[in-house]
Structures are given as C-alpha cells and as structure tokens.
Amino acid sequence: MSHIPHRKFSILEAGSPRYVLSRKKAISKPIYMGVAVSQESDGQVEWACSSYDGTEFEAHEDTFIIDPSSSGADWLEQLNNIIIQTVRDFAITHNYRIQGVCIGCDDKTAKIVAANPSLKSPIRSMCTRFWFDLDAVPCTYTLRGLSLTEEAASAARKVYDWFTPQFPGSIPRIAVDPETNEVLVDMDGHCHMVGLEHFENTTDKPTWDKLLQLADQCKQRKLKIIFFNSTPQGGGVALMRHATIRLMRLLGVDCRWFVAKPNPDVFVITKRKFHNVFQGVTQDEQYRLAQDDKDLWVEWCENNFANYWGQGKGVVDTADVIIMDDPQVSAIIPHIRKLNPAARIIYRSHIEIRADLASVPGSMQHDLWDFLWSGFISKTDLFISHPVAGFIPPRVPLAKVALMPAATDELDGLNKKMSHSDIEYYRRVFNRCAEDQGSPGISSDRPYVIQIARFDPAKGIPDVIEAYRAFREQLAARGMEEDSQPQLVLCGHGSIDDPDGTVVYDQTIQLLNQPEYRPYAQDICVARLPASDQLLCSILRGSFCALQLSHREGFEVKVTESLAKYKPVIAYRSGGIPLQIEDGKTGILVERGNTKGVADALTRMYTDSAYYQDFINELRTKEQDSKRQQYFTPFQSVNWLYLATQLAYKGNGEAVAENQPTEDVDGTYMGNGEVRQWNAKYVREYWQNSA
C-alpha cells in the first residue's frame, strides 16, 4: 500500500477565531473518519484516527496507558470514551459533521466479528458509540498499512467511497448482489449501528424471551426465510425489511431479502393500476388493467425469477418460508410452487384494498383482484393483512387470514434519540433542501405543524393545506400576531417504484399559488427529501404536532413514529390509523374530509397549553410505551419467526403435502355492502397464548 500523506489533527481552543466561526449558522461540512487501534501490548494500546473530505486527510495518533487495576471491560470503555471525545472535539471546533466512520481491524478480528454478529467485541462497542453519541454511521473493514495512521487514513477513504455521493444523514449506498438481486443490508454486514443488547433494552422481557426462543428453533432446524418485494429503498416496506434483516442477522437466523430489477414502465402499472386502484383513489377508466399491462407485468416477474431466483440460484430452491410483500412481484408465486413445492408461502398485504369496491362485479378493483387472486395469490398458504376487516378482499378464505400491523424501528435513523445540536443541524440541512426547491425554510424561532408522507394522491395533501389555512384564520381572529403563528411543513421521501411523486408535488406547488392560499405560502415549507432517515427524524422531533390526513391508508408507521416521539397526532379516521391513535388521549381523530375539524383541533392544541400538555403526559406513560411495543422491530420479528416455525415443514417431522386451496369465500363484504362476521386473529394472539 502506498503511503498516504496527512496533516495532524488540530483541536481548537474555544476562544479561537475559527472556533467562533464554526459556531455560526453555516451548515457543517461533511467529513468521513477512519479509526485504527493496535492490540494491547505491555500495558498500553496505540490508536489513530484520520478524517477525509475527499481532498485531504487530517490525522491524530495517541497512546492509551492501561490502569493495571482496571478490568478489561473498564479500560476498553475508557479507551472508547477518549476516542469518541477526541473525534467529537475535532468535529465541533472545525464545524465538521461526521457522516460515517470506518473502524479498521486486522484479518483475525474481522473474521471473529463477521462470524459472531452478537459478539460484544470492542469493535462493535465502538461502532455503536459512534452511532448513538455522534450520529455517525459506523462500519468495519479489514485494513493493512505501514502504520496505524495509514490504516486510519485508508479506513477514512473506504467509508468515503461507500457513502459518496450521498446526502447528510444518509446510510451508505444500498448494496444489491448483481447475481441474485439480494439486498445486502448494512453493506452486507460491514455497518454495525446496534447490538442485540440495544434491542433487548427497548423490548419487554416476555417478548424478548420469546424472540430468543424462536430464533433458537429456527437455527436448530436450519430454516431459511426469504422476503420478496419490488424495491430496496423508499416506502415503509423497504424500511421494515432493512430493520428486520438487521435484527435477524444479530440473532443468527438465516433470513434474506430479494428485490426485482427495476423497470419504470412496470412501476407505472404497479403504482397507478394496482396500488391506486386498490385504494380507490382513482375511478378513471384509463387506469383499468389492460391485457398489454398484464403481459408486460407477468413477463417482468418471470424474467426476474429466471435470471435471479430460479433453478440453481440458491434462492427459491433452498427456501423453507417465503414472504411476498404486496402484489408487485406476485406473478412469481406459481414458479415458486413448481420449483419448491415444500416451501410455505405467505402473502403480506400492506396497502388498503377496498374490499367494498372489489366486491362489485365489473369494477376496476374487482377485475384487478380477480386477476391477481386467481392466477397468483390464491396459491399461497397464508394471507397477512393489516387489522382492518375492510382490507380483506373477496375470495380470500378467512381460515387463511392472520393480522399484523406495520412496524418501525426504535434504533434506526428514523427514530433514535437526537441531541438539540443534531436537530438544529438537520433543520439547516432541511432549509437548504427547501431553498433549492424554491420553498421557504423552517424558522428557528417559530413552532411548526408537520405531515411527513410521500407525495401521493392518497395522502390528503390538499386537505392539509386547507386545514392549515383555516387554522391560521382562527388564530388571526383571536388577535395572534403572524410571527407567533406556526408554520406548516410538508415533506417526505420518494421511491423508485412510485411515479406519482413528481406529479403530486407539482400539484401541491400549484395549489399554493391559488388566491386563497397565497397569503400563507411563505409559511408553508414543501420539500421532497433525499434518502436521509435522520433528517426526517429530527424534523419530526422538532415539530409542535403531526398531521396524517390520508384519505386511504394501510397502517401508517409515521403515526407510530410521531407518537413514539411524544408528538400528538391529528388524523383522519382512515384505514388502520384509528387503531394507532386513542382519540382524545394520544391524538385526535377527525372524519375524513372534515378540514374544519382539523383546524379546530389544531387551534385548541396550540392555544390551550394545559390541554396540549395532557397529550404529552399521556404519550410518556409506561402504559403507552408498552402498547407501542407491538409496532417495533423485535415484536414484529417474533411474529415472523413464529409463523416460520409453525409453517415450515423442515424439522416438523411432517410429510410434504400439496398446497390444497381452501374453498373461496366472498371476503369480508356481503352483497349489501355490510362487513360480515369474521374471526381473524392477530399473529401475536397465537404466540402470546402459547407462551
């Protein structure tokens, strides 16, 4: 390896001119760090760290003297404290923002860490400290060099290569195996943000014990679990899968996730003619599924199966349990059945399927569901739905139905705790994004109301703007000065399989130019944000309260995330949202379309501090924390592992039988439009009762 030139670290004094400059309101410069630590020898440890901004290196090296009276755990923690503090001081005094850290290790250590994901090693401990203390994504990599300083510089360059070009607060580029299209979560294990102990500390003991028990069963039976969906990034499904695979890896469970090769023409079909039609947000006949659409979609699914997942690929042919997330790639189900008859297949429905419309012969929803069910989804063993009766479409045998809400992760960038300085940093980053899109930013001295959602026709964005207009009118009528009135923030990520984002964003900007909204436009921040979880987390944490005025919704994780940050939510009674909010306790539920009701709720919350504080106090109770457990990754993982251990043939001593479809029924809607009686249970009811 060639020698890498570098400058020495300089930690500035608090009164120095550059320190003062760094405290001004400029956005901190992103940098990347490398750390290298020697093996302990003669009572001391050599260590070095290096920063890299894409142009030059700055380095620091030091020696840590071990106190002979300290235990191994104690002096390792002391060493970590010194390294973390040195890096923090360097970043603060130079107005740097550390985006990622690569901790170099030798071959032996790298193999031990890779083979033992749950190992509480010094490397992993340092990684998680960087994640939680400095909001820097930590990675490990095997490095060699002529010196520790050179190893640290190589580590800094490695993490720079992984991240760039990226956006502040982003995770490294999503890695996908070109041979199988497997999503290599956390850079195939190089990123180590959390350990099992962090999940355990955020989970109640009965749930955690059940998780470990089921994980052990999966490992003893050598079960292989795989997920399929259309995209590795953007939207709630991808977020859940990243978190699920991360935890499964720490548990040692063989669980993998595969995505399709993107095709924009197919995504137009799956978003506008599958997703939007099922939700009933369009009745335009141009979105009725045509034969050409069917042929293109089926061909795309079959090509993905043949090229990436079929015979001899080591994917479908070796799997025991396969979960299909939504209908995007469901045309591969018959091919799975043919290649691996022993595999048990679960269809996981995440979106709201308007069962009432799908029950009307000749409707777009009816014909679409008939096509997907008859040819593909009927061949699965289990249908998992959000816990709303009206989401179960016709012909799904109720004996095959189980219920499961969507989940989010307490420890990832969307939900982890953040310091005031982190929140302020991301506010500036948000304002830079907003400015680039011609939108006003978030003021540092005014509160704001927020709705985080994709720019989607079902998310009720026009209702949010109208409710905000009425809210502002009510505050003005009370004589409140404009500078004391809250702003409105509308923002969200995009997704590669969603072609509606740009259309709805443009419609939102046009709406703000209408005469009735123009007086408030400079207080409405509208931004499509890049893939930065911490950016969304911090903007939500800085808000006064959250809105979720979706007209159609499955189970909105943004509601869960808001409540977990102790932000009361004002929302429509749509889809699964009423299951998430206790009306009058953790938020306020309003009938869909009642924008005046939303404005009234906002006004009371904003003008009655005692009333508002009651919501905050309730959200902080242990009872509410306990109720939210079911919406987080460990609880969700218990659900999946329970289903896998119950359904899989391997290790059950049962003969493999052909999949015998249960007799079709008319779904949850009767001919007169009433919801029929049903006895579908939450997955949790089965394993909690067995426990």
pLDDT for the residue 493: 82
Q: Does the pLDDT at position 173 exceed 80?
A: no
pLDDT for the residue 49: 92
497 or 369: which leads in pLDDT: 369
H/E segment holding residue 47: strand 44-52
Burial class of residue 432, CB neighbours in 10 A (0-12, 13-18, 19+): middle
pLDDT for the residue 226: 98
pLDDT for the residue 25: 58
pLDDT for the residue 165: 63
Q: Does the pLDDT at position 588 exceed 90?
A: yes
Closest CA to 407 of 571, 210, 202: 202
Percentage of residues in the chain with pLDDT exceeding 90?
67
Closest CA to 267 of 238, 241, 229: 229
383-418 burial string, b = 16+ CB within 10 Å, else e? bbbbbbbbbbbbbbebebbbbbbbbbbbbbbbbbeb
Q: Does the pLDDT at position 538 exceed 90?
A: yes
> Over the stretch 219-259, which tens digit does the pLDDT of each residue have?
999 999 999 999 998 788 999 999 999 999 999 999 999 99
Q: Does the pLDDT at position 669 exceed 80?
A: no
In what side-by-side order are the strands of the sheet with 545-548? 524-529, 487-493, 448-452, 545-548, 569-572, 587-590
pLDDT for the residue 115: 53
Return the C-alpha torsion angle 160, 126, 128, 138, nearest 10. Answer: 10
Helices 633-647 and 205-221: angle between axes, nearest 10 degrees:
40
pLDDT for the residue 1: 36
> Over the stretch 342-377, which tens digit does the pLDDT of each residue have?
999 999 999 889 999 999 999 999 999 999 999 999
pLDDT for the residue 639: 97
670 or 305: which leads in pLDDT: 305
Q: Does the pLDDT at position 51 exceed 60?
A: yes
Comparing 215-229, 480-494, 586-600, the range with the smallest average pLDDT is: 480-494
> Over the stretch 625-655, which tens digit does the pLDDT of each residue have?
999 999 999 999 999 999 999 999 887 765 3
Q: Does the pLDDT at position 555 exceed 70?
A: yes
Q: Does the pLDDT at position 152 exceed 60?
A: yes
